[in-house]
Chains A and B, each alone.
Chain A
Amino acid sequence: MPRGAGMNDPLSHSWIEESASSQPLESPPLSAPPSTISCWRCGKEVLVELARCPYCAAPHGQDPPAAAVEQWLPDRNARSLTWLLGFFGVMLGISILAGTIHYLTSEVSPRLRPNSWESLLPLLFFEAIDTVLVFAAWCWVGVCRPEPRRSWLRRLAAWAIAIPGLAMVLALNFFYHHALRHWIGAAGIERAPLDGYAALATSIFAICLQPAIVEELFFRHLMFGALRSLVRGHTVVWVTSVMFAAAHVGAPLSMPVLLVLGALLGYARLATGRLHLPIVLHFVHNGVVLWATMR
C-alpha cells in the first residue's frame, strides 16, 4: 500500500515520514586524540610535549641509538628480571650450603694447614659453581639492553672521580671494621699471612679476580640491563647495590659497607656505560683488603 493512502495507514503518520526523511545516522564527533610517541628506550607511549619519558627518563627529541630501539623490548626485560632473580636466589642458596658445610666440617677436618692454598679449595669450588650459574644466566637471558654511548670526556671524568671515590670507600671499610672490632670484638678484617706464593696466587684469583669479573657481570651487566628500561638510572644503581650487599651473606656485618661499594660500582657503570671501570674498581678494592690481611 503506498504511503499516504488513507487515515488508517500506519505509514501515513507525519512523524514516521519525518523520521524516514531524516538524515542518516552520524557518528558523534570524536575528540582529537592526544599525540603520543613511543619512547625509544622503554617503548611506552608518552605525550609528545614531554621532554623526557616519565617512566625511564630517556630524553626525547634526540636520535636514539638504533640498537636500543630494535633489539630491546620491555617484555623481554620483565622476563629477564624474573629469571635473574631466580638465579640470584639459587646463588644465595649455594652460599647457605657452603656456609653450613664449612661449619660442619671445620672441626672435623683440621688437617689442612691454615692459610695454605689447599685451605682455599672449598672457596674455589663454590666460586666455580657461582661462575657457572652466572654464565648460564648470561646465556639464558641473552644480551642486555645496551647503554647509550657516553662521550669520551664523560668517561674520562668518571675514571678520574672513581679513584678518590674508591679511596673514600676503602677508608670507610677499614674504619667501620675497626670500630666493629673495638666495640664487639668481631673479627672484621682478620690478619692472616699467607703461606707461600701458591696461596698468594690462589687468593688473588679467588678473592680479587673472580669476584671482580663474575659479580660485575651479574649485577652491573645482567641485572643492570634488566632493570634499566623499567626504572631510572639512580634507582637501578641502588637496587643492584642492595642485591650486591645481600649476596655477601657470609659476611653479614659487612653489608652496610658493601652497599656503599655497590653504589660506587653502579654509578661507575652508569657514568661510563661499560663494565671496565666497575671491574677495575672491584679488583683494586678486594686487592687492597687482601693486602691489609696479609700485613
Chain B
Amino acid sequence: MEPISNLPSLSQDTATSPALGKLGSLTKSARAKQLKTARGILIVVGILTLLVNGFMFANARHEVEEVIQKQISDLRTHGQTADMTSVAEVHNRAVRLCQLIYGATAFLGVVFIALGIMVYAYPVPTTVIGLVLYIAGIAVFGLLNPVSLAQGIIFRIIIIVALAKSIQAAVAYQKA
C-alpha cells in the first residue's frame, strides 16, 4: 500500500483550504448574529424615540400653556399679576423652543432607524455613530433635566453594553 501523501495540509491558507474556510464562515455568522441584535436595538430605539417625541411635539403647545397657567396662578396666590403681553411673547418662544427640542429628538429617532437599516452595509460607522448619538442624547437630556438620568438607567446600560459589543462584532465582521 503506497503512502498517502497527497492530502491537503492543514497549514495551508484559508483561501486554499475548504475546511478552514467553513470555520471562517461560522465565525462570520456569529458576528452577523450580533449585528442583527444591534440592528434590532437601533431600530427599536429609533421607533420609540420617534413616537414619544412626535407625540410630545404635537403636545408642546398644551404643555407650555399648562406651565404658564400654573405660574400665573402662583403669582395670583402671592397677590401679583402677570403682564399678558410678556406672557404671550414668552408663550410663543417657549412653544417654539419645545417644538425645536422635540422635533430634533424625533429626527434623531429617524437617524437611529436609518442606522439600523444600514448596519450590514456599513457595520463600523453605523454602530459607532449609533452608540455615540445614544450616549450624547442621554447626556443632553441629563443636562436639561438631571433627574432624567436615573430614569431607566438599567435599561440604558444594557443598550450601551449591547451597542459597544456590536462595535466589536462590526469590526470583526468587516475583517472576516
Contacts and interface: CB of A to CB of B under 8 A. Distances in A.
A89 interface: yes
A231 B125 contact: yes
A92 B128 contact: no
A74 B175 contact: yes
A14 B156 CA distance: 77
B121 to A, nearest CB: 11
Interface residues of B, number: 38
Interface of A: 24-27, 30, 33-34, 36, 44-45, 55, 74, 77-78, 81-82, 85, 88-89, 92-93, 95-96, 99-100, 103, 183-186, 227, 230-231, 235, 238-239, 242-243, 246-247, 249-250, 252-253
A100 B143 contact: yes
Interface in B130-176: 131-133, 135-136, 139-140, 142-144, 146, 149, 160, 164, 167-168, 171-172, 174-175
Which of B129, B131, B135, B136: most chain A CB closer than 10 A? B136
Given A81-B167, A89-B135, A183 B15 contact: no
Interface stretch (B2-10, B36-44, B45-53, B73-81): B2-10
Contacts of B4: 25
What is the predominant secondary structure among interface residues of chain A facing chain B? helix
A253 B96 CA distance: 13
B131 A85 contact: yes
Contact of A81 (B16, B142, B171): B171
A184 B175 contact: no
Contacts of B174: 55, 230
Contacts of B132: 85, 88, 242-243, 246
30 contacts: A30-B16, A33-B16, A36-B15, A78-B171, A78-B175, A81-B171, A82-B168, A85-B131, A89-B160, A96-B149, A99-B142, A103-B146, A183-B96, A184-B93, A230-B124, A231-B124, A231-B125, A235-B125, A242-B129, A242-B132, A242-B133, A243-B132, A246-B132, A246-B135, A246-B136, A246-B139, A247-B136, A249-B140, A252-B140, A253-B100
A227 B122 CA distance: 13
A103 B144 CA distance: 10
Contacts of A99: 142-143
B164 A85 contact: yes
Contacts of A33: 13, 15-16
B175 A27 contact: no
Contacts of B82: none
B87 to A, nearest CB: 14
A24 B129 CA distance: 60
Nearest to B144: A252
A106 to B, nearest CB: 13
Contacts of A45: 15
B30 interface: no
Given A24-B2, A183-B96, A85 B133 contact: no
Closest 4 interchain pairs by CB?
A246-B136, A27-B6, A78-B171, A99-B143
Given A183-B96, A231-B125, 14 more contacts: A34-B15, A55-B174, A81-B167, A85-B128, A85-B132, A92-B136, A100-B143, A184-B100, A235-B122, A247-B136, A249-B139, A249-B140, A249-B143, A252-B140
Contacts of B160: 89
A53 to B, nearest CB: 12
Given A45-B15, A55-B174, A26 B167 contact: no
B97 interface: yes
Nearest to A25: B4
Nearest to A236: B125
B63 to A, nearest CB: 15
A252 B139 CA distance: 10
